[in-house]
Amino acid sequence: MRIAIMGSGGMGGFLGAKLAEARHDVIFIARGDHLKAINSQGLKLLSQEGDLHIHPAIASDNTQDVGLVDLIIFCVKLYDTQAAARACLPMMGDKTFILTLQNGVESVDIISAIVGDGKTLGGSIYVSANIQAPGVIKHSGGTNTIRFAEVNNQPSSRTQTLERIFDDAGLIGVREDNMQRMLWTKFVLLCANAGMGSLTDSGARTMCSDPDAKEILISAMWEVYHVAEAMGIELPVNTVDDALNLIISAGHKRDLIASQCLDLRSGNRLELEWSQGTLHRLGKKYNVPTPINSTAYVALKRFAGGRAKVAP
């Protein structure tokens, strides 16, 4: 397949390297020094599972030059979603489809409003990876699982294709039968960890080692659960327990530090409006109290544009 990676940071770079190694025609959409390094030196993936070096690798910051592709894997930060969706249009033919693996629960709707309905699948990825240096991706953990679903929750030739290409790349591709349940199940931990982790400058394992912080983290997860419930999205009753088990099982390897916490440390722009901001807004809409996540939202709002842009 001809595959464009829209956003070739940690997740996108990891997937692109794996798919390129499986002999797919991969184009990395990147920018700045990362773009220059990929084009000149290829893309390196460092992993305990085995390093890869995709060289030569094709990267571009201009989607007008890419041509049509079969699949776009969409991994940009949520605040870049609309601009990146518009940039996808020159690469899209009648049968091109998008798999978004972004954080949050609203990206399918945002992308579809630009590229048209029926062209975007929702997905969740369970991989920890980041840019270590320009042209170098560090894979540090996770289950290497990618879950995905059509908006109508039905199996399709597109979900079959995704299962096949991820399997060929040595990954685990799983079609889910309910997109909203899939997204919100992950959002329970993701949202709570992003908010509490950013406030405490800690990962989930560290918070769970402190009884007071653990209690508040669990309460924050239940807030997300109850908002989903009010929206008519039925999550498994053991969702919060499963999230805690994930924290514990991952604990011997690494702490689960939210990307928002890492962005806050670096002074980067935050995905706040699409994590705590989303829950705060939906909690008010459905009359569900969200005091912990809403407090995190208000406290972090001054850093949403990046620490360097905060007025003294």
Q: Which helix (H) or strand (E) holds 130?
A: strand 120-133
User: 2-177 is classed in which CATH architecture?
Assistant: 3-Layer(aba) Sandwich (3.40)
**pLDDT number for residue 33:** 97
Q: Are strands 172-175 and 52-54 parallel, antiparallel or unpaired?
A: unpaired
**pLDDT number for residue 41:** 96
b/e per residue, 184-204, with b = 16+ CB within 10 A? Answer: bbbbbbbbbbbbbbbbeebbb
Q: Which fold has domain 181-309?
A: N-(1-d-carboxylethyl)-l-norvaline Dehydrogenase; domain 2 (1.10.1040)
Question: Are the C-beta atoms of residues 280 and 290 closer than 8 Å to each other?
Answer: yes
CA 266 to chain centre: 19
**pLDDT number for residue 257:** 86
CA 130 to chain centre: 12
Q: How many CB atoms lie within 10 A of CB 113?
A: 12
pLDDT tens track of the chain, all 312 residues? 999 999 999 999 999 999 999 999 999 999 999 999 999 999 999 998 899 999 999 999 999 999 999 999 999 999 999 999 999 999 999 999 999 999 999 999 999 999 999 999 999 998 888 899 999 999 987 789 999 999 999 999 999 999 999 999 999 999 999 999 999 999 999 999 999 999 999 999 999 999 999 999 999 999 999 999 999 999 999 999 999 998 887 644 567 888 899 899 989 999 999 999 999 999 999 999 999 999 999 999 999 999 765 444
The radius of gyration of the chain's CA atoms, rounded to the nearest angstrom, is 19
**pLDDT number for residue 251:** 47
Task: Extract the tokens encoding 285.
Answer: 């809409």
- Rounded distance, CA 150 to CA 177, Å? 8
- In DSSP terms, 53 is beta-bridged to 44
CA-based nearest residue to 15, from 100, 120, 134 = 100
- In DSSP terms, 254 is beta-bridged to none
Sorted by where each begins, the domain ranges of the chain are 2-177, 181-309
Q: Let me know if the fold of 2-177 is the same as that of 181-309.
A: no
Whether the model pTM is above 0.95? no
**pLDDT number for residue 248:** 81
Q: Are strands 136-149 and 120-133 parallel, antiparallel or unpaired?
A: antiparallel
b/e per residue, 51-63, with b = 16+ CB within 10 A? Answer: ebebeebbbbeeb
**pLDDT number for residue 246:** 85
Q: What is the DSSP string of 63-107?
A: GGGT--EEEEEE---GGGHHHHHHHHGGGEEEEEEEEE--SSS-H
Q: Which helix (H) or strand (E) holds 60?
A: strand 58-60
